[in-house]
């Protein structure tokens, strides 16, 4: 799925747009026990309550592709005959009226997910009559013939608020406000089937995690019997270690700057065509940057070998997962310098009289503690 398709579905999660008529789920305590189950009609809720439910489900389609949102693809044999795919199809085809399938999903999530504290599992089904769009993007509602039926699942931590003193306007008085349980935004969730090329793709599912450091691989294995890609923050740390460890003494500031510039340019180019597939970078593209920087063949071969070992041969990564596109950070044990990537050429490294220095070219407007200084 691409950003445009996800945005199209996100617009569904409004009372006047959504086809979701009910939401079901269960409340799980800290011991992993189901305390209560519920099956509520959105039509019987107040508008404020239904909007909040839809907002929670909508958050399962939020974040960045490749970081918070991951496309997972089922193998052909799974779609043809597997328990995990049959379960998802039973939930979708029954429009969440198959209680046995719902119970199986709940138990699968509970047995494989480790969350601190209690949490809520929310399930909803929607049917979307997909309007036709011409090549220029114009919408033609009367020309659509695609009906996209899907389920969305959100796992939300339930947190206990602290007691507080509250002012009641109607009584013009202060009263104690007892602690209460509130539903936090989803920590993890998924959408099935995928909405690829604005059509149903039974071979795909969109997987969501709030935290870029945690991918809950045990949950993915239990639900989908698939391997989830490395968490975004782990990808960044692994890539940084790869450059440092394989290039060794050839890993200079100029080399890191060149890699940063190349990845930033890929990110910027993708912003101009967000409807296309997510931006990706290959091992060979990074190797070409290293070659342009004059890195020796020995070091490049070591980088390519370790890249394949860490990420897998021919694996393409999201450039936004490998760098911070907003800044470059130059750190020593005692000093940190942060600079926007487009101004990274203002910083250089030098050895003067045998001592290593980081030099910053300064023109006008130099301040120390907010005070203009002169050289």
Provide the residue-wise pLDDT of the chain in tens; the chain has 375 residues.
888 899 999 998 888 888 888 899 999 999 989 999 988 888 788 888 888 999 999 999 998 888 899 999 999 999 999 999 999 999 999 999 999 999 999 999 999 998 888 999 999 999 999 887 665 555 555 555 789 999 999 999 988 777 777 777 787 777 777 767 788 899 999 999 999 988 999 999 999 999 888 889 999 999 999 988 888 889 999 999 999 999 989 888 899 988 888 888 888 887 777 556 677 888 898 888 899 888 899 998 999 999 999 888 888 888 888 888 888 888 888 889 898 888 888 888 899 999 998 898 887 788 888 888 888
The pLDDT, as a whole number, for residue 58 is: 93
Predicted TM-score (pTM) of the model is 0.81
Q: How far is the C-alpha of 119 from the C-alpha of 29, rounded, in Å?
A: 7
Any residues with CB less than 8 A from the CB of 231 and at least 6 apart, and which? 209, 212, 213, 214, 215
The pLDDT, as a whole number, for residue 9 is: 92
The sign of the torsion formed by the CA atoms of 16, 20, 21, 26 equals: negative
Whether the CB-CB separation of 328 and 316 falls below 8 Å is answered with no
The pLDDT, as a whole number, for residue 275 is: 57
The pLDDT, as a whole number, for residue 139 is: 53
The pLDDT, as a whole number, for residue 15 is: 82
The pLDDT, as a whole number, for residue 199 is: 92
Q: How far is the C-alpha of 91 from the C-alpha of 342, rounded, in Å?
A: 49
The pLDDT, as a whole number, for residue 160 is: 76
First to last CA, the chain: 55
The pLDDT, as a whole number, for residue 14 is: 86
List helix spans (H) across 184-275.
Answer: 217-224, 232-247, 253-271
The pLDDT, as a whole number, for residue 164 is: 74
**Alpha-carbon 207 to chain mean position:** 8
**Alpha-carbon 375 to chain mean position:** 47
The pLDDT, as a whole number, for residue 144 is: 57
The pLDDT, as a whole number, for residue 203 is: 95
């Amino acid at each position: 799925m691409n950003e445009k398709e996800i945005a199209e579905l996100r617009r569904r999660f409004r009372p006047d747009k959504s086809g979701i008529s009910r939401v079901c789920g269960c409340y799980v305590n800290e011991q992993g026990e189901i305390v209560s189950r519920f099956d509520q009609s959105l039509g019987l809720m107040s508008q404020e309550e239904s909007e909040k439910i839809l907002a929670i489900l909508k958050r399962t389609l939020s974040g960045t592709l490749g970081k918070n949102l991951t496309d997972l693809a089922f193998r052909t044999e799974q779609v043809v005959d597997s328990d995990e795919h049959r379960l998802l199809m039973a939930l979708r085809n029954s429009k969440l009226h198959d209680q046995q399938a719902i119970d199986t999903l709940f138990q699968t999530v509970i047995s494989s997910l480790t969350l601190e504290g209690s949490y809520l599992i929310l399930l909803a089904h929607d049917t979307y009559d997909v309007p036709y769009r011409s090549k220029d993007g114009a919408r033609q509602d009367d020309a659509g013939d695609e009906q996209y039926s899907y389920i969305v699942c959100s796992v939300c931590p339930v947190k206990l608020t602290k007691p507080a003193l509250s002012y009641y306007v109607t009584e013009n008085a202060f009263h104690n406000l007892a602690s209460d349980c509130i539903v936090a935004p989803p920590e993890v969730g998924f959408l099935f089937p995928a909405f690829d090329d604005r059509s149903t793709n039974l071979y795909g599912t969109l997987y969501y995690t709030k935290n870029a450091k945690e991918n809950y691989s045990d949950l993915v294995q239990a639900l989908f019997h698939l391997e989830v890609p490395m968490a975004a923050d782990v990808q960044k740390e692994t890539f940084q270690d790869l450059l440092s460890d394989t290039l060794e003494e050839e890993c200079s500031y100029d080399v890191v700057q060149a890699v940063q510039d190349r990845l930033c340019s890929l990110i910027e180019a993708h912003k101009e065509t967000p409807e296309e597939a997510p931006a990706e970078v290959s091992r060979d593209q990074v190797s070409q940057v290293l070659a342009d920087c004059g890195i020796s063949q020995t070091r490049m071969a070591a980088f390519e070998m370790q890249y394949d070992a860490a990420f897998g041969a021919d694996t393409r990564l999201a450039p936004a997962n490998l760098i911070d596109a907003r800044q470059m950070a130059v750190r020593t044990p005692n000093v940190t310098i942060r600079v926007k990537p487009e101004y990274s050429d203002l910083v250089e490294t030098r050895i003067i009289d045998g001592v290593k220095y980081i030099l910053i070219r300064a023109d006008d407007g130099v301040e120390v503690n907010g005070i203009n200084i002169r050289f």
